[in-house]
Amino acid sequence: MDNTSLKTTNEATQRSELHRKIWAIADDVRGAVDGWDFKQYILGILFYRFISENMTEFFNSAEREAGDLEFDYTQISDEEAEQDFRPNTVEDKGFFILPSQLFANVVKTAKKNDNLNTDLANIFKAIEASAVGFPSENDIKGLFEDVDTTSNRLGGTVAEKNQRLADILTGIANINFGNFQDNDIDAFGDAYEYLISNYASNAGKSGGEFFTPQTVSKLLARLVMDGKTNINKVYDPTCGSGSLLLQMKKQFEEHIIDEGFFGQEINMTNFNLARMNMFLHNVNYNNFSIKRGDTLLNPLHNDEKPFDAIVSNPPYSIKWVGDGDPTLINDERFAPAGKLAPKSYADYAFIMHALSYLSSKGRAAIVCFPGIFYRKGAEKTIRQYLVDNNFVDCVIQLPENLFFGTSIATCILVMAKNKTENKVLFIDASKEFKKETNNNILEEKNIDHIVEEFRNRSNQEYFSKYVDKAEIEENDYNLSVSTYVEKEDTREIIDIKVLNKEIEETVAKIDTLRAAINKIVMELEDE
């Protein structure tokens, strides 16, 4: 077996073992508490361990390079740390943690600490406060807000709360993540993504609001980056837990993403998860900007646009204010289409927002509810604007049951501003999946097939068609894949002549058998 195969096997083994242990611990320590309600404690404490070990390694490496081979940041006093290590650290790392506040030191006394819940609360506040007045302040502020160590979810008494917190701390402490240099996988980030995926899967509909399955994220990332070697930055206007943004990092470590990762999220819990997720995947605070707010009514990345790559899985057909706010029709994002998305369906508001933030050489890939491609009224007007201005690059029909909480067969809309042909590619990928217990998934070969056709732009029977704008006009600007890509008829083809011959032969056999039976009956009657 070559070195590459050994490395791949080793990674798979590490990942499988890590997943098994982390989920077993998460399931064990929650007790009777619903996993969805308990997720912030597991995820928050995992994050706490990561930043503690990350900071410890940061100082230990520097001191050992300077010649002190025995140095261990966990063993020095808080006073020494304040004097020798706090200056300049927040500028580099975005935060600062005193030795007494480190995960490794807190977990040692956790089971005997009668003040554990309040001590943890104070540590989390201190970590957030360490960034005040620095460029990282908004990236750290409120990060531990959902990790409420005084909540009754942990127990009815202080003793019960402390016991539960100690169980979480020791459980996570007992997981062997390896060290930062030797691990073949991004251990902390991988564990975090796995936990989020499992929580989303078990949560049903609500889980889909903050997590896009990794295989779908991978497809979106490959679509927006196909043919590119570098981009200025990546943006997700509805970023949830940040899984889509991070898939860009995972898929394109060898590509250049000059200015980092940008996202906006309206939900506070998801906003905190996304920021933690960035740190856990070794994206430093100065390489990401995740902001909290309503993307449609209060966009917070106006100063950072345009973006070369936009990926998004916005909420499907939710209500919004629409023409209830007369100022929105003059908003530079929505005005060009001449119509606002209907109040009952905000889908095209998200699409027009993304288009507005897209650079002249960029590409956007957005997961969409299928109804937006054929509904009439304002949505048809906006579709016509997109087609007439040659912004629609490709529409891909995905398989059903890919997403948590919905079995709907969604679509991907790919937009670009630098198309050279006034045509749209339609791909029917509804059969490109592997069936698993609860959901369908896209396998690597499915993703490869879709991306290959996206690149080649050929006409494949029952799979893809490259359509002229004139044909789309003839179809009243309907962008449903089924309008252009014929479904394969899988019904059995019957040859009538052959069938009639078989029937004749069968009837003849029946007649012969009937005659034989009649003969036997007559012989019996004669006796």
Pairing state of beta strands 440-441 and 434-435? antiparallel
Token pair for residue 414?
A: 């790919």
pLDDT tens per residue across all 527 residues of the chain: 454 444 445 566 667 777 778 888 777 777 655 566 678 888 899 999 999 999 999 999 999 999 999 999 999 999 999 999 998 899 999 999 999 999 999 999 999 999 999 999 999 999 999 999 999 999 999 999 999 999 988 889 999 999 999 999 999 998 887 654 454 446 777 788 888 887 777 665 444 555 788 899 999 999 999 999 889 999 999 999 898 999 888 877 666 888 999 999 999 989 999 999 999 988 999 999 999 999 999 999 999 999 999 999 999 999 999 999 999 999 999 999 999 999 999 999 999 999 999 999 999 999 999 999 999 999 999 999 999 999 999 999 999 999 876 788 999 999 999 999 999 999 999 999 898 877 899 999 999 999 999 999 999 999 999 999 999 999 999 999 999 999 876 666 777 888 788 888 888 888 888 888 887 877 777 66
Q: Is the peptide bond before 306 cis (omega within 30 degrees of 0)?
A: yes
The torsion defined by the Cα of 329, 332, 333 and 334, in degrees rounded to 10, comes to: 20
* Residue whose structure tokens are 């077993």: 24
Q: Which CATH superfamily is domain 207-484 in?
A: Vaccinia Virus protein VP39 (3.40.50.150)
Q: What's the predicted TM-score (pTM) here?
A: 0.86
> Whole-angstrom Cα distance, residue 193 to residue 430?
26
CB-side exposure of 507: number of CA atoms within 13 Å?
A: 6
**What are the DSSP calls for 54-88, one per residue?**
HHHHHHHHHHHHTT-TT--GGGS-HHHHHHHTSTT
pLDDT tens digits for range 402-415:
987 678 899 999 99
> Whole-angstrom Cα distance, residue 37 to residue 311?
28
Token pair for residue 1?
A: 């077996």
What pLDDT, on the 0 to 100 scale, is given for residue 119?
98
Structural fold of domain 3-185: Ferritin (1.20.1260)
* Residue whose structure tokens are 């890590």: 18
